[in-house]
Amino acid sequence: MTSATPSPKSPEVSEKSKKYDRQLRLWGDHGQYKLESSHVCLINANATGTEILKSLVLPGCGRFTIIDSKEVTEEDVGNNFFLELSHVGQNRGECAKTLLCEMNLDVSGEAVIDDLEEHLSVHKNSKFFDRFSVVIASELSDKTLKLLSRTLWEKPGKSIPLIYCHCIGFIGWIRVQLKEHTVIESHPDSVIDDLRLDRPFPEMVEYFDSISLSSREDIVKTPWLIVFHRILEQYVKSHLLREDSMNCVNKENPHHLNTQQKRAFKEYLEKELRTMGLHEGDDVFAESMKAVNTALTPTTIPWQVQEILNDKKVTDPENSQFWIMCAALKAFISENNGLLPVRGVLPDMTAESAKYIGLQNVYRDKAKRDAEDVYNRCQSIMEESGNSPITLKPEDVRLFCKESCNLKLIRGQPIFEELETCPSSIVNEIAQNQESPNPDCMFYVMMRAALRYYSEFNFYPGASDPEQDITEFKACVSRLLAEWNCNVNGNADYIQEICRYGGSEIPSVAAFVGGCVAQEAIKIITGQYTPLNNTLIYNAVDCSTTSFNLPTD
């Protein structure tokens, strides 16, 4: 958590910090600030739509606008917690807005009654959508979705993120459209510690060598990393770098051990530790032995980060903070033996306080110097490009450097393209098992067919008479599959199931999809955590989900 401001005495905790405490621990005050500055647009306040807004209003998004021209029906009241029977006949967006806003007085909401299609045609070249951080839509027709997707994707200047979602019966469909999205704080579940045993920097070696390991007394008070390093260096010298060594050595990187060498080193390590008078009961012993698998991982640049550094935007960062920092990072790497800045974060190691803190400071100081270097490079890039409107603070660059091994970039694919071409990721997967295809792939096909069916008939298959609609729906599915050159045999059950649903929105399915979509919106707004790229099918029959990247992987 990088957020809280240090203060000598106990700080006053604001009501807001208390209210949002449990989420501030996830995305910090800076993430919260972005959320509170955001403006979300929801198209259609159906059950899924209001569930999404619920999970955005509660954590305190700044404002929201609902676009909905429909009147509240009794069916709406049945599956939507933010509508009441007394609302029947009134505008749905307006009614939902009032009950949603009740939950959090920090959030302001508005409802726009106009028809969306008019908006899209009238405002096509206007700035209507510009104010939104993200647009979320549910239950659109094929045609409208295409139009909306294209309008937001092709916005001159900056494209606006779009999330489309749709629930029919036990099936939910989420589609995220992001033209370009970058993440600095991706908060991965687990990170490999940046220890640099294979690529030590001079200050590190100096400190490591200054620590005396002559007595058992000394050693048990020393962090395992220092003891481990000492033994590793001995091993490399005595076993790997010897001319007559049978162990074929990577002379460039003698520390990069293969599995066999690792096993041999582990034996050597244990022997040496015992020679030092240590045994299983000593923390240093146990922690060193446990570290063999992870501590020997070569220091490299993850491929996702490499891909970002090779992106065309690095050479032409325009006015983007992120890309300017990437350009600086690339320059730093090329002049620093191909290494990322030191992260400066160490795991806890059982040891005497002073020795551990001293070790930690060696890494931290190096991280600080690396970040300063990158910061200076950022400054010169901005100076070169003339009067850049961007301002970069040193702490921004420090965070960027600290997270440089976890950077994420999404260059997505537009929905309108998916709706116009063959979704080959799905089709290929179905082709692999035509007799009993993956249910989640089949449900994707069904959702697409239902959307098309709706465009043709203006109601969903089975809306009133499933048996009558089943023939037409079957034909619709066949036409779609034929367009994609996709052969599949076992689809009768899926067709029947979709006709059973009759376009109904089950409240608990809407709630699942609503929660997911809200979280994707929060990721997009805060720029933290990695959004879905780009399709999710939720299958509540089996309680499973599958993600796809469409139309092509």
Partner 1 sequence: MEFEITAGVGGRILRLVMEVEGAQGTGTLDSGEFCSRDSNSNSKRWNHMRKILERPSPFTYHTFNPSYEYLTALQEYVRVLVVGAGGLGCELLKNLVLLGFRNVDIIDMDTIDISNLNRQFLFRPDDVGKSKAHCAAAFVNKRVEGANVIAHHCKIQDKDVDFYKQFHVVVCGLDSITARKWLNSLIVTLDVSEEDEKIPFVDGGTEGFKGNVRVIRTPETPCVECNLDLYPPQINFPMCTLASTPRLPEHCIEYVRLLLWEREKPFGETPIDGDCPQHISWIYEKAQERAAQFRIDGITYRLTQGVVKNIIPAVASTNAVIAAACSTEVLKLVTGCSRFMDNFMLFNDLDGIYTFTYSAERKKNCLACDRGEARQLFFSKNVTVQEVYNYLVESKDIQMKSPGIQGYNKEGVLKNLYMKNITTEENLKKSLHVDFEIPDGGEIQVADPTFAVAVSFKITYE
Q: Which of 102, 114, 209, 280 binds partner 1 (CB under 8 A)?
A: 102
Site membership for partner 1, residue 522 (CB under 8 A): yes
Site membership for partner 1, residue 60 (CB under 8 A): yes
Query: Which residue, 151 or 504, has its beta carbon nearer to partner 1?
Result: 504
Q: What is the largest CA-CA distance in the chain?
A: 89
Q: If binding means CB under 8 A, how many residues of this protein chain bind partner 1?
A: 100
Beta carbon of residue 8, minimum distance to partner 1 (angstroms, whole number)? 8
Q: Identity (one letter) of the amino acid at 399?
A: L
| Stretch 112-151 residues interacting with partner 1 (CB under 8 A) | none
| Stretch 324-353 residues interacting with partner 1 (CB under 8 A) | 348-353
Q: Which of 93, 462, 527, 551 binds partner 1 (CB under 8 A)?
A: 462
Q: Tokens representing 98?
A: 């009032």
Distance between terminal CA atoms of the chain? Answer: 35
Site membership for partner 1, residue 497 (CB under 8 A): yes
Site membership for partner 1, residue 75 (CB under 8 A): yes
| Stretch 272-331 residues interacting with partner 1 (CB under 8 A) | none
The Cα–Cα gap between 217 and 326 comes to 46
Is 176 buried (19+), middle (13-18) or exposed (0-12) by CB count in 10 A? buried
Instruction: Map residue 545 onto helix, strand or coil.
Output: strand
Q: Which of 204, 480, 518, 525 binds partner 1 (CB under 8 A)?
A: 518
Q: Identity (one letter) of the amino acid at 450?
A: A
Residue 547 Cα to chain centre, angstroms: 13
| Stretch 206-225 residues interacting with partner 1 (CB under 8 A) | 221
Is 9 buried (19+), middle (13-18) or exposed (0-12) by CB count in 10 A? exposed
Query: Which residue, 302 or 515, has its beta carbon nearer to partner 1?
Result: 515
In order of 68, 196, 199, 442, the CA distances from 202 in angstroms are 63, 11, 10, 58
The Cα–Cα gap between 533 and 538 comes to 15
Q: Which of 214, 337, 354, 389 binds partner 1 (CB under 8 A)?
A: 354
Pick the piece of the chain touching partner 1 (CB under 8 A) from 288-296, 309-317, 426-434, 532-540. Answer: 532-540
Site membership for partner 1, residue 430 (CB under 8 A): no
| Stretch 169-188 residues interacting with partner 1 (CB under 8 A) | 169-170, 174, 186-188
Query: Which residue, 162 or 351, has its beta carbon nearer to partner 1?
Result: 351
Q: Which of 173, 356, 363, 375 binds partner 1 (CB under 8 A)?
A: 356
- Which residue, among 176, 171, 175, 186, has the nearest Cα to 545 in the 3D structure? 171
- Are 100 and 70 a contacting pair, CB within 8 Å? no
| Stretch 9-28 residues interacting with partner 1 (CB under 8 A) | 9-11, 13, 15, 17-26
Query: Which residue, 187 or 266, has its beta carbon nearer to partner 1?
Result: 187
The Cα–Cα gap between 431 and 445 comes to 13
Beta carbon of residue 460, minimum distance to partner 1 (angstroms, whole number)? 10
